[in-house]
């Protein structure tokens, strides 16, 4: 199908998706973006957030903590630092990561603390959006 593209989502622990989709909504560091078939070649970094793939069977949601997305006319590959299905199990794992981030941020100061606080706040918003 001309309006479909390959979508792959991998993290160091596992491959979460390798499917044909219509679009992928990506939480890019510079703002949300949507990749579709025939998209211009792009590489972007990810911020913590919800990644949504839109396939023939509907939407599938994942939470990513960061990483990179490579978009080409043929498809989108996401290499996530950590990625989890946006479900109760994923939420529990992400809450542990968030607590670790906040504990570490409490020991820092200056720009390092500001950066980690921003990342933690982005992750907290993603966690809150999980039903």
pLDDT for 3-19, tens place per residue? 999 999 999 999 999 99
Region 87-115 average pLDDT: 95
Burial of 96 (0-12, 13-18, 19+ CB in 10 A): exposed
Question: Pairing mode, if any, of strands 67-72 and 75-80?
Answer: antiparallel
Which CATH homologous superfamily contains domain 5-85? Answer: F0F1 ATP synthase delta/epsilon subunit, N-terminal (2.60.15.10)
Q: How far apart are CA 68 and CA 52, in angstroms?
A: 15
CA distance 48 to 56: 26
Q: What angle do CA 25, 10, 55 make, to 5 degrees?
A: 40
Of 14, 11, 44, 50, the closest CA to residue 29 belongs to 44
Q: Record the pTM.
A: 0.89
Give residue limits of the domains in the chain: 5-85, 88-128
Rounded Cα distance between 120 and 52, Å, is 20
pLDDT more than 90, % of the chain: 95
The pLDDT score that the predictor gives to residue 2 is 59
Q: Dihedral, CA atoms, 79, 82, 84, 89, nearest 10 degrees?
A: 170
């Amino acid at each position: 199908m001309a309006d479909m593209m390959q979508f792959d989502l991998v993290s160091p622990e596992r491959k979460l998706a390798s499917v044909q989709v219509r679009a992928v909504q990506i939480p890019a560091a510079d703002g949300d973006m949507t990749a579709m078939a025939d998209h211009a070649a792009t590489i972007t970094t990810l911020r913590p957030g919800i990644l949504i793939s839109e396939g023939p069977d509907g939407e599938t949601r994942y939470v990513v903590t960061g990483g990179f997305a490579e978009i080409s006319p043929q498809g989108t590959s996401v290499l996530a630092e950590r990625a989890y299905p946006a479900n109760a199990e994923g939420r529990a794992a992400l809450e542990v990561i968030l607590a670790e981030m906040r504990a570490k941020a409490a020991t820092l100061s200056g720009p390092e603390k500001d950066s980690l606080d921003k990342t933690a706040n982005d992750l907290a918003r993603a966690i809150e959006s999980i039903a």
